[in-house]
Amino acid sequence: MTSHAALTAIGAYVPQRVLSNADLEQLVDTNDEWIVKMTGMKERRIAAEDEFTSHMCVAAVRDLQQRFAKPIDDVDLVIACTHTPDYPFPGVSNLVQHRLGLTNAGAFDLNATCAGFAYGLHVANGLISAGLHRKVLVIGADAMSKITDYTDRSTCILFGDGAGAALVERREEGGFRGAYVASDGEKGKHLYRLGLSDTIDGEPMAGGGKLVQNGREVYKWAVSAVPEGMSRLLEGAGMKPDDIDWFIPHSANMRIIESACEKSGFPLSRTLTSMAEYGNTSAATIPLSLARGVTNGSVKPGDMLLLYGFGGGLSQAALLVSWQP
């Protein structure tokens, strides 16, 4: 499918409160050296008690406006990619649409967990290229601290809160060059949060309303699935690793990213991450990384990006898209 959509602006937001590795040492049996070695994380941001996903989304869009002086009153669709909505409904997208005064915009939430932002961009490209929409806000945000069990040393060291917002606009020469999406629902039980049911495929599960992760199984899946997906994406687009300026994966864990780069042959030096300062912010990690790259001048207009989201579901989504501000 020919793309008529362009990624034209990016914004980001993280809360003020910092949760450092030293802080975590006071909560659970862990230490800074071990956390950095195993995850690459040094600190993460934590939302205030009365700060939720919708608030972070609005702040990220405001940042986008300040960075690029882009009008958004003509946005005709808001896609909020999150699995930590303020409420079951109304959706985060509905709250954002209202607070930003986007009276001509439709709105829906998309839950693909850590792959959400990439899926959101994929949907936006499809809708715009089909002629159904012209200007779409895609926001990836999660308030992970609200669902993290801070007595579980294996998960509480990982997660932080944040949001990133992107503008996708119609252009005759679009910038989306390829996509690869996949699901391995059979392994969904290795990373979950219970809702109305306390079983998965009839199997009783623990955790209540908190996130539960089998880190070993998720790691094994990711280090195999991501390089394979990268290969399929590039092959399908008729491109090679040398054609990619920046690899921007979900910042789940530095060990996963290092393994993916090694197996795919992609240089770690051309990889952008956000976990060292912000931890794993789920759907927000990719836009936070991209926003940083744009701000510091690493990402330049026309650069080809390989975005790769992967996580709960187990879902994955990878995109080839040029940066066209």
For residues 270 and 26, what is the distance between their CA atoms, to the nearest angstrom?
A: 35
Query: Catalytic pick from 57, 114, 156, 261?
Result: 114
Query: Are 148 and 155 contacting, i.e. CB atoms less than 8 angstroms apart?
Result: yes
| Cβ count near 287 (within 10 Å) | 33
- Look-up: residue for tokens 């998309």? 110
Handedness of CA 95, 100, 101, 102 (dihedral sign): negative
For residues 177 and 171, what is the distance between their CA atoms, to the nearest angstrom?
A: 14
> Is residue 133 annotated as part of the catalytic site, yes or no?
no
> Is residue 94 annotated as part of the catalytic site, yes or no?
no
Write the secondary structure of 179-194 as one string of H (helix), E (strand) and C (coil). EEEEECHHHHHHEECC
Query: Catalytic pick from 190, 250, 253, 261?
Result: 250
DSSP structure class, residue 253? -
Rounded to whole angstroms, what are the CA distances from 242 to 21, 245, 304? 36, 8, 10
| Cβ count near 55 (within 10 Å) | 22
Q: Which amino acid is at 34?
A: W
Tell me the chain's radius of gyration from C-alpha atoms: 18
Residue 17, helix vs strand vs coil: strand
Query: Catalytic pick from 94, 111, 125, 280?
Result: 280
For residues 105 and 186, what is the distance between their CA atoms, to the nearest angstrom?
A: 36
- β-pairing verdict for 77-81 and 135-143: parallel
For residues 105 and 79, what is the distance between their CA atoms, to the nearest angstrom?
A: 10
> Is residue 114 annotated as part of the catalytic site, yes or no?
yes
DSSP string computed for 206-253: --TTS-EE-HHHHHHHHHHHHHHHHHHHHHHHT--GGG-SEEEE--S-
Catalytic residue list: 114, 250, 280
